[in-house]
Amino acid sequence: MKVSGRSFSVVGMGKSGLAAARVLAALGGKVLLSDGADTPALREAAAGLGPEIECRFGGEQIRLGDIAVLSPGIPPSAPIFRQAYKVAGEVMGEIELFYRLFDGPIVAITGTDGKSTVTTLIAHLLQAGGLNAVAAGNLGNPLCELLDDDSPSDGDSAKIAVAEVSCFQLITTSRFRPVVALATNLAHDHLDYHGSFEAYVAAKALVAAHQAAGDTFIRNLDDPILATWMNQDSKDCRKVPGNGQLVLNISQKQAVENGVFAKDGTFYCAHNGHATKLCRRSELAIPGAHNTENALLAIAAALAMDVPKEAIIEGLATYRGLPHRIEYTGSLGGVRFYNDSKATNPHAAITGMAAFDEKVVLIAGGFEKGLDLTEMGETIAQKCKSVVLTGATTKRMSKEFEGKAPIYCESTMELATKKALELAKPSGIVLLSPGASSFDNYTGFEQRGNHFKTIVRDLMNAADIASRSC
């Protein structure tokens, strides 16, 4: 893609917008960067960009005929989104821009839950195999930052982008073609943004829409929707016909002819119906059935990138997981605390509860997205001793979960954590797995999870001081 001398309107001064503007300017593009807000933080961030980038605040702007690069935070219903398609010469998002400028292979991961774990695990396995893989994208560091990354590569190996891509990012793609693509799973989420589950699934399907012969799609047969993808006769809008790419299947429930599966605590690789043992599930360092699924997806991606099996086994044993994903936080007496703040929808909270053999005291609640809570309530009935609710969803969750387990409501995370500790004594598990976003009280799931960890640490310190004073 030629950039020098061309004109670009970048909308949104978040991380991805700043990275896109910086790269385009460095390549000689004429860049207008705008944002609907006007805050000291935005002006400070823009001040470091340099005079070659024109910055405007307090209103999103697109110049006539420009190539528009839109922030993933702008929904299709926003006036600026619709305006872009009327006045811009072309519309794209950061990941489409990255694809046009990057000359290395891309492994793309989308889905509802598990994206960040699968993304970082794939990068870890590729690195174990000696490849120069970098995890980036929706998990925090913009893809465009890889384009001006001056860090030394491993030997002469080409850089491989292992990209977590969200539905928000995918809707502005038009040519994006990863050499390996996968969706972890699909469940109801972000319906406030997309308007319907069908539209949400269609957005996720864009991860593989431009693949062709020579590329690989990894299909999760245990997900009822994903299992239908890549069937040539699919006409349902929630199904995705293939484009001639290789399909590798994964499953925890059945053997597969080509791909990776788990059976009786062992991982197997299969090719044309012939299965060979890879390693025991116990060699994977991170717990939970959901992480078995995550590992199968990552193994399949590593195999598609020609990583030796010995390196895959080594990588599985040395991967330690990510913060805020069923993260052990500490113990107080016989009570263990786990931070699963990344569980921002009911499906993820169900996964968190299912990771434990014993019943837990659940802390749930947060920003209201209007998602169906039926299955979460059914899981609470099976997996929870009691539930402590906090946040904007408290009223609806207390009604939905009535009769499933004892319900308690608290106004703050600190009070909720103290109540959960009281309920879990003398021994048990307190699990923060909200089943809702964090934007009612926090800037994101990271801040919520870190606050929970601080509260737990303070409780532990207070107990330690009290015990020493006796």
Q: In Å, what is the CA distance from 212 to each residue of 173, 216, 330?
A: 16, 8, 48
Look at domain 102-318 and name its CATH class.
alpha beta
Q: In Å, what is the CA distance from 305 to each residue of 121, 123, 185?
A: 14, 11, 21
Cα radius of gyration (the chain): 23
73 vs 443: CA distance, rounded Å: 14
219 vs 186: CA distance, rounded Å: 12
94 vs 163: CA distance, rounded Å: 12
Q: Which residue has the tokens 């070659």?
A: 52
136 vs 162: CA distance, rounded Å: 6
Q: How many CB atoms lie within 10 A of CB 216?
A: 21
Q: Are 88 and 69 in contact (CB under 8 A)?
A: no
Kindly state which CATH superfamily the domain 327-469 is placed in.
Answer: Mur ligase, C-terminal domain (3.90.190.20)
Q: How many CB atoms lie within 10 A of CB 152?
A: 7
Averages of pLDDT over runs of 10 residues in the chain (470 residues) are 97 96 97 97 92 96 98 92 97 98 98 95 98 95 84 58 96 98 86 75 94 96 93 52 90 97 98 97 90 98 98 96 92 96 95 94 96 97 99 98 99 99 98 97 97 98 86
Backbone phi, psi, residue 245, to 5° = -75, 160
**Please, is 226 exposed, middle or buried when counting C-beta atoms within 10 Å of its C-beta (0-12, 13-18, 19+)?**
buried
132 vs 123: CA distance, rounded Å: 9
pLDDT at 149: 56
225 contacts: CB under 8 Å, gap ≥ 6: 186, 201, 238, 239
Tokens describing residue 102 = 């990057």
SS3 of 404-466: CCCEEECCCHHHHHHHHHHHHCCEEEEEECCCCECCCCCCCHHHHHHHHHHHHHHHHHHHHHH
SS3 of 44-111: HHHHCCCCCEEEEECCCCCCCCCEEEECCCCCCCCHHHHHHHHHCCEEEEHHHHHHHHCCCCEEEEEC
Phi-psi region of 146 (alpha: psi -120 to 50; beta: other; left: phi over 0): alpha
Structure letter (DSSP) for residue 367: B
330 vs 353: CA distance, rounded Å: 18
> Domains of the chain: which residue ranges?
7-93, 102-318, 327-469
191 contacts: CB under 8 Å, gap ≥ 6: 197, 200, 369, 370, 371
* Cis bond before residue 105 (omega within 30° of 0): no
334 vs 325: CA distance, rounded Å: 22
What predicted TM-score, i.e. pTM, was given to this entire model? 0.85
Backbone phi, psi, residue 358, to 5° = -100, 160
83 contacts: CB under 8 Å, gap ≥ 6: 62
Q: Are 262 and 256 in contact (CB under 8 A)?
A: no
- Domains 102-318 and 327-469 fall in the same CATH topology: no
How would you classify the pairing of strands 266-271 and 274-280?
Answer: antiparallel
Q: Are 111 and 206 in contact (CB under 8 A)?
A: no
Q: Are 364 and 433 in contact (CB under 8 A)?
A: yes
Q: In Å, what is the CA distance from 149 to each residue of 23, 28, 136, 201, 345?
A: 10, 17, 12, 33, 34
Q: Are 117 and 321 in contact (CB under 8 A)?
A: yes
384 vs 376: CA distance, rounded Å: 11
Q: List the CATH code of the domain at 7-93.
A: 3.40.50.720
